[in-house]
A = this chain, B = another copy of it.
Amino acid sequence: MDMQHQAMGYDRTATMFSPDGHLLQVEYAEKGVKLGSSSIGMKCSDGVFILADKRVTDKLIAKKSANKIFEIDSHIIVSSAGILSDAKVLIEKGQVTAQQHRITYDSPIEPELIVKEIASIKQQFSQYGGARPFGVFIMIAGINGKKPELYASSITGNYLEYHANAIGEDDEKIKEMLRENYKKDLTIKEGVKVALDIFKKVQGDKFGIDRFELCYIKSDKVILEKLEGEEIKELK
Contact = CB atoms under 8 A, between A and B. Distances in A.
B21 A31 contact: yes
A135 B61 contact: no
**Identical copies in the complex:** 7
A132 B89 contact: no
Interface string A155-196: 011111111110000000001001100100000000000000
A125 B128 CA distance: 10
Given A21-B30, A129-B129, 16 more contacts: A1-B19, A9-B9, A14-B132, A16-B132, A17-B132, A20-B28, A20-B32, A21-B135, A23-B32, A61-B163, A85-B122, A85-B157, A85-B159, A88-B119, A89-B123, A129-B132
Interface of A: 1, 6-25, 28-35, 58-62, 64-66, 83-86, 88-89, 119-120, 122-123, 125-135, 151, 154, 156-165, 175, 178-179, 182
